[in-house]
Structure 1
Amino acid sequence: MTDLVALKAANANRWAKAKLTRDFSSVAKRLAAPAAKARYQAVSAKTGVPWAFIAVAHERESSQDWAGSLAQGDPWNKVSTHVPAGRGPFKSWEEAAIDALVNCAPRAALNKDWSIGGTLTMLEQYNGLGYANKGIPSPYVWSGTDQYVKGKYVADGKFDPNAVDQQLGCAGLLLAMIALDPSISFDGDHAPAPPKPAPTVPPGKPASPSITNPSPGSLGDFIASVLSAIFKRKS
């Protein structure tokens, strides 16, 4: 069984050191374009999954094909045949994406750790933990960076140690997207809300003059001082 805590730490460490070895800029621009971002944010609002996570998974699963399901790239308007099989048909790409994140392993919508280590590890789980079990960086995450050299599952259950993944990995895509859109973060995908200012308490109104609280210099104030002097003498 994969130690996810150790994998999160390893992915966070790789992120801190990673350098891009391919050009990610054109794909990052396409993923972060306003129209695409709006669609990803709509799914994010329904699932709690950061929009940038959805974007890079969409790229890996179907090269950002809006006719392909986020779950595995199969057409979302038909019943899927690849794993996860039997999903759909759906009414829209968004509906299929929500199903993929909520109902399909690893159920990213249940994730609570959107630190960079948690995000990259959830992406790795999205593709499968076969690479982690072999002790090598997942190309799904690290292809196109100096953290990945070779080794790839070329078919279900078939690992080729010399094959090189030609797709761009999620980590490099995120790095390139952050350069274009600094609002992308890994503390829940949004900057913490600014603290609410303390409520302003209006100064209390001075008490209205009364027999027990006469205005200074008034006749009542004079009488009160006389009475106070009399009672002091008696005591």
Structure 2
Amino acid sequence: MVDLNALARANADRWSRAKPTRKAEAANVAARLHKARHRYQAVGRETGVPWPAIAVIHERESSQDWRASLAQGDSWNRVSVHVPAGRGPFESWEAAAIDALAECPPFLARHKDWSIAAALTALETYNGIGYAARGVPSPYLWSGTNQYRAGKYVRDGVYDPSKVDSQLGCAALMIALMELDPEIGFAATKSAKSPTAGDPARPSLTNPSKGSIGAFVINLVRAILGRK
């Protein structure tokens, strides 16, 4: 069984050392994702998942194809056949995306901690923890950075250690998005020990890190409600 706390610590360490290896390509994709941020933000308002996380999942699952579901890349206007199977049909890409985040494992809409370590680990679990079980960096996250060289599941249960993932990973795309838009931010992990539930210092949607997307949303809501 994969220790998710250990995985979060490993991902935080990799993030601290990550350098883009396909920077120009990542910048181009990030610009395309950023241009559509209003659609990701609409889904984020319904699910609580930060829009950059939704955007990078969309790129990984379907190269930002608006005809494809966020869940697995199947057409959202038909019943899905790939895992998660049996979802849909839906009325729109947004409706399918909300379903993928709220109703399908690993249920990202239930996540409260969107610090960088937690965000990266949530994204990794969205794809599966087969790489973590092998103790290797997931290309779903790290392709396009110096934290990944080779190794890929070419189909379910079949791992090829020499296969190189040609897609950019979520971390590479998040780095590019953060360089493009200074309002995007994820809190850094301050120590190797993961914060515990109930810890007032623990970043969450109700106690967001300064400068984070969560902080922006909370401040906006408080301004609307007239709270101090």
TM-score w.r.t. structure 2 length? Answer: 0.83
- Alignment partners' CA distance in 2, 1:14 and 1:116: 11
Residue aligning to 1:144? 144
**Partner of residue 213 from structure 2, selected from 179, 189, 199:** 189
Distance in 2, matches of 1:154 and 1:189, equals 35
Matched residue, 2:32: 30
Deviation of 1:182 (Å): 1.1
Secondary structure (helix, strand or coil) at the match of 1:19 reads coil
| Contact 1:183-1:190 at 8 Å conserved across structures | no
Q: Is the 8 A contact 1:114 1:189 kept in 2?
A: no
Partner of 2:158: 158
Instruction: For residue 213 of structure 2, give the secondary structure of its aligned residue in structure 1.
Output: coil
Contact 1:20 1:172 in 2 (8 A): yes
How far 1:198 sits from its partner (Å)? 10
1:112 CA displacement = 1.1
Deviations 1:127-184 (CA, angstroms, capped at 9, x unpaired): 0000000000000000010000111000011100110000000000000000111111
Counterpart code for 1:130: G
Look up the SS of the partner of 2:30 in the other structure. helix
Q: Which residue of 2 aligns with 1:44?
A: 44
Go from structure 1 to structure 2 and tell me whether the alpha carbon gap of 1:42 and 1:157 turns closer, same or farther (over 3 Å shift): same
Matched, 1:114 2:138: no
Query: Which runs of structure 2 are paired with 1:79-94 in the superposition (5 Å)?
Result: 79-94=79-94
- The amino acid across from 2:18 in the alignment is A
Read off the aligned partner of 1:135 and give its amino acid letter: G
**Within 1, Cα distance between the matches of 2:71 and 2:127?**
10
In structure 2, what residue type is equivalent to 1:115?
S
Structure 1 equivalent of residue 168 of structure 2: 168
Gap change, CA 1:179 and 1:198, over 3 Å in 2: closer
2:56 aligned partner: 56
AA in 1 matched with 2:26? F
Larger radius of gyration: 1
Amino acid at match of 2:168: L
Alignment gaps of 5+ in structure 2: 187-208
Q: How much does 1:185 deviate?
A: 1.6
Structure 1 position 191, deviation (Å): 3.1
Deviations 1:165-214 (A, max 9, x none): 00000000000000111111224623353999998xxxxxxxxxxxxxxx
Deviation of the 1:113 alpha carbon: 1.2
Q: Distance in 2 between matches of 1:74 and 1:49?
A: 21
Specify the alignment match of 1:100 in structure 2.
100
Residue type of the partner of 2:41?
Q
**One-letter amino acid matched to 2:125:** Q
Whole-angstrom CA distance in 2 between matches of 1:182 and 1:43: 21
Is the partner of 1:71 in helix, strand or coil? coil
Once residues 227 and 168 of structure 2 are traced to their aligned partners in structure 1, the CA distance between those partners, rounded to angstroms, is 48
How many residues of Structure 1 are paired with residues of Structure 2 in the alignment?
A: 197
Pairwise CA distance, 1:67: 0.3
Q: Which letter does structure 2 place at the counterpart of 1:27?
A: V
Structure 1 match to 2:70: 70
SS in 2 for 1:159: strand
Is the alpha carbon distance of 1:198 and 1:176 closer, same or farther for their aligned partners in structure 2, counting shifts above 3 Å? closer
Percent identity between the two aligned chains? 61
User: In structure 2, the residue corresponding to 1:191 is in which secondary structure?
Assistant: helix
